[in-house]
Amino acid sequence: MADFRNQERSLGQTRTDWAERRTALASERTFAAWGRTALSCIGVGLAATQLFGDLEPRWLLRVLTVGLVALGVLVLAFGFHSYRKSARDLESSGEHTLSLWWIGAFAVVLSALGIAGLFLVW
């Protein structure tokens, strides 16, 4: 009888471990979706200068471009904040996720490229 209880506890712990791993993977996929959305906003913002280069008044195009790039950077910042919160919650339960350093570096590099792109297309 005692052996049966040990097996139940082991199965329960295994299922809990799997659930925590699925949660960690879901958090990583969610950050990837935020990153794709941010990249799309930045890309459309930078492409707008080429697509609508003869748009008058000129300030409208600049507002559109800067607004979309800024929206992309904000989306990326929100995605990083959300991932960081989930990762810290999972770390407290013993589950390992992608390093916050790598995720933060990705967010900073993508944001910097988007902002640098503004100067290239202007």
pLDDT at 32: 93
The distance from CA 84 to its chain's CA centroid, rounded to whole angstroms, is 10
Question: Which letter, b or e, does each residue of 26-44 get, where b requires 16 or more Cβ atoms within 10 Å of its Cβ?
Answer: ebbeebeebbebbbebbeb
pLDDT at 24: 86
**pLDDT at 116 exceeding the cut of 60:** yes
pLDDT tens track for 27-65: 899 999 999 999 999 999 999 888 888 888 888 988 999
pLDDT tens track for 61-98: 889 999 999 999 999 999 999 999 998 888 887 777 88
pTM of the model: 0.79
